[in-house]
């Protein structure tokens, strides 16, 4: 086991017993939602995973230690500190470790730490991707590169709808990352169930998802697998409303000179503001939906 890694007693016991485990990111706690809703949601997602037959492992960097499995107190700390905790991607881990600093893990970093701990499945809200205008800015999330090189299944509600979804799919295709639609042949777009873009394969059961991932691992591919799970119908938002909010948020971000790792949290917070909080409730429900699917798939994978 990596010398910088701390695995919680609950997750250690699950690994030793061969129980299904689902990793969870922590950027959604510190940068994705306001306090106390972020803490309430994090604990609810953990409980949802337990209710569906798996053990949750929320991941973060605390005091320079890579943590697989957090206590309630650690989750509360991340939620209260909010954006005072660094948003940690792959490039940030060496500095955070050396400085004994804290970091909330993105999709990329959660995949890295989950893999170090031996956890194969990870549930999140939406992945990062190719940003709009990336042909000029080269703003492409490290999440995509991590999917290309780290063997973890990521269950999400698609790429965040603030992104260029077409270019994100093209990038994943180039990197050989299979994009699976759960119960759909169309890529979900985070807040909405449709995007107008197709996925590589449709799968209709956790059993088939587990079989596909098992085959990928048996082939010794170095990359991961992306499972896109549409937001439940009753929580899906009107595409025109979301698109209008995103367009306005993008304009405000440009006017404010927001760049780099601050772009995504700025845009998501602005969309929540512009939709009167409706997008926050949708965000919570899609994460719970992904947690259920990830737990059931992890249980099948462990059979």
Give the pLDDT of residue 277.
Answer: 66
H runs (alpha helix) in the chain: 9-17, 27, 37-51, 72-81, 93-98, 107-117, 134-137, 142-149, 165-174, 206-218, 239-256, 263-274, 278-301
Q: What are phi and psi of 120, to 5 degrees?
A: -100, -20
Q: Of these residues, 67, 87, 120, 160, which one is catalytic?
A: 160
Q: Which pTM value belongs to this model? A: 0.92
* Contact (CB, 8 A) for 55 and 19: yes
pLDDT of residue 268: 72
Token pair 């999140």 is found at 124
Above 90 in pLDDT, residue 249? no
160 counts as catalytic: yes
- pLDDT, tens only, 158-216: 987 778 999 999 999 999 999 999 999 999 988 888 888 999 999 999 999 999 999 99
Question: Over the stretch 274-296, which tens digit does the pLDDT of each residue have?
Answer: 777 677 888 899 999 999 999 99
Q: Which DSSP letter does residue 164 get? A: -
Residue pLDDT, tens place only, 112-158: 999 999 999 999 999 999 987 888 878 899 999 999 999 999 999 99
C-alpha dist (Å) from residue 156 to 160, 181, 260, 275, 294: 10, 10, 22, 22, 9
Looking at 25, 46, 74, 146, which residue is catalytic? 25
Residue 263 has pLDDT above 80, yes or no: no
pLDDT classification of 61: cutoffs 50, 70, 90: very high
Average pLDDT score over residue span 79-107? 97
Distances (CA, A) of 242 to 192, 228, 239: 8, 19, 5
Rounded CA-CA distance 35/203 in Å is 36
Q: Which residue has the higher pLDDT, 266 or 154?
A: 154
pLDDT for 10 equals 97
- pLDDT of residue 87 exceeding 90: yes
Residue 47's pLDDT band, with cuts at 50, 70 and 90, is very high
Mean residue pLDDT across the chain:
93
Residue whose C-alpha is closest to residue 298's, from 236, 173, 210: 210
Beta-sheet pairing, 55-62 with 121-123 = unpaired
HEC readout, 25-76: CCHHHHHHCCCCHHHHHHHHHHHHHHHCCCEEEEEEEECCEEEECCCHHHHH
Question: Residue 1 pLDDT > 70, yes or no?
Answer: no
Q: Where are the domains of the chain?
A: 5-301
Can you give the pLDDT at residue 133?
Answer: 82
CATH code for the structural domain at 5-301: 3.40.1790.10
Distances (CA, A) of 84 to 37, 39, 109, 112: 17, 15, 18, 22
259 is catalytic: no
262 pLDDT higher than 80: no
Cα separation of 278 and 269, whole Å?
12
pLDDT score of 51: 98
Q: According to the model, what pLDDT value does residue 252 have?
A: 86
């Amino acid at each position: 086991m990596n010398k910088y890694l701390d695995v919680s007693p609950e997750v250690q016991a699950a690994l030793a017993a061969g129980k299904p485990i689902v990793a969870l990111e922590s950027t959604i706690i510190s940068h994705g939602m306001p306090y106390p809703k972020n803490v309430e949601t994090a604990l609810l997602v953990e409980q949802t995973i337990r209710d569906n037959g798996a053990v949750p492992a929320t991941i973060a960097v605390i005091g320079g230690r890579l943590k697989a499995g957090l206590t309630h107190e650690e989750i509360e700390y991340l939620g209260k500190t909010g954006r005072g905790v660094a948003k940690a991607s792959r490039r940030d881990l060496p500095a955070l470790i050396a400085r004994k600093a804290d970091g909330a893990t993105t999709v990329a970093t959660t995949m890295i730490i989950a893999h170090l701990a031996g956890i194969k499945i990870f549930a999140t809200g939406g992945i990062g991707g190719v940003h709009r205008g990336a042909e000029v800015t080269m703003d492409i999330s490290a999440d995509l590169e991590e999917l290309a090189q780290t063997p973890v299944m990521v269950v999400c509600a698609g790429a965040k709808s603030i992104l260029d979804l077409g270019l994100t799919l093209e990038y994943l295709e180039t990197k050989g990352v299979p994009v699976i639609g759960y119960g759909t042949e169309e890529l979900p777009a985070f807040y909405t169930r449709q995007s107008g873009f197709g996925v590589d394969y449709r799968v209709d059961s956790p059993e088939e998802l587990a079989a596909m991932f098992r085959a990928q691992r048996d082939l010794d591919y170095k990359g991961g697998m992306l499972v896109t799970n549409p937001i439940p119908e009753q929580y899906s938002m009107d595409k025109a409303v979301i698109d209008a909010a995103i367009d306005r948020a993008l304009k405000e971000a440009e006017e404010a000179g927001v760049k780099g790792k601050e772009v995504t949290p700025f845009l998501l917070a602005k969309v929540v503001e512009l939709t009167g909080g409706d997008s926050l409730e949708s965000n919570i429900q899609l994460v719970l939906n992904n947690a259920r699917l990830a737990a059931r798939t992890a249980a099948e994978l462990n059979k």
